Amino acid sequence: MTHSKKIALVTGATRGIGLETVRQLAAAGVHTLLAGRSRDSAVKAALSLQAEGLPVEAIALDVTDAASISAAAATVAKAHGHLDILVNNAGILADDPTRMVSEQTLDSWRRTFETNVFGLVAVTQAFLPLLHRSEAGRIVNVSSILGSVALHGDPASPIYDFKLPAYNVSKSAVNAWTVQLAYELRDSRIRVNAIHPGYVRTDMNAGEGAMDIPEGARTSVRLALVGEDGPQGGFFHFEDRLPW
């Protein structure tokens, strides 16, 4: 299958890494659905990429709203009949960095898991039937190195002091879900992997970071376009496999 015949959907794509992931997939020839909670925001972002001549389409999709997810899946099914690539990019960071690990509010935990975990699982479940209709389906779950339990337990690791518990544990759950789903899909044409985009300068990081947004989108795009010999159930940053 050539990239020009592929259909992709990227959640949380109105800005930052998600928007850049849409840009790079579309630049590779993939017809890419740019999903955002607000249809107006999604349309505005899609128009900016269409103005560059890129094959981008806006779609409303709130990963925390079951009706919104169902409506988006129905829209894609009617318009395209299948889906080749799902990039679960939508995510939030609700931890208060001024509080201790044990002091984070239950509300921040609930809001974080509603988007980062339950929303991701719900979207995947809704679009999995369409991915099974693809000749080579790909699921990319945008996680974080901060979800690595192994590195959080190692005092010598670079993330040892980055304790944002609700966010970190939500990404650990994303990693665990990736492994479980990869097992189910092991004999299918669908590949599912988790990725760490890097420490990217985005709004979530208040502009801090070591990488520009285009570099931050690169790993998602690589795994979205990987061939039949690509990995299944891995955790990657660029070409490097990360510890769970």
146 DSSP 8-state letter: G
Whole-angstrom Cα distance, residue 113 to residue 147? 13
**CATH number for position 56:** 3.40.50.720
* Number of compact structural domains in the chain: 1
Angle between helix axes 165-184 and 106-113 (nearest 10 degrees) is 30
CB 54 within 8 A of CB 23: yes
Find the mean pLDDT for residues 195-210. Answer: 76
Whole-angstrom Cα distance, residue 240 to residue 195? 10
- CA distances (Å), 191 to each of 68, 95, 118, 232, in order? 25, 32, 20, 5
Q: How many helices (H) and strands (E) does the chain have?
A: 8, 8
Which amino acid belongs to residue 232?
Answer: Q
Find the mean pLDDT for residues 57-75. Answer: 98
* Residue 183: pLDDT band with limits 50, 70, 90: very high
* Main-chain phi, psi angles of 200, to 5 degrees: -105, 145
Pairing of strands 235-237, 240-241: antiparallel
Whole-angstrom Cα distance, residue 55 to residue 111? 33
Whole-angstrom Cα distance, residue 42 to residue 34? 6
167 in catalytic set: yes
Q: Which of 141-150, 157-166, 204-213 is predicted least confidently?
A: 204-213
The pLDDT of residue 199 is 85
Whole-angstrom Cα distance, residue 195 to residue 36? 21
Find the domain containing 142 and state its range.
3-241
64 DSSP 8-state letter: T
Catalytic residue among 5, 6, 167, 183, which? 167
The pLDDT of residue 205 is 63
The pLDDT of residue 156 is 98
pLDDT in tens, 81-113: 999 999 999 999 999 999 999 999 999 999 999
The pLDDT of residue 100 is 97
* Main-chain phi, psi angles of 33, to 5 degrees: -90, 120
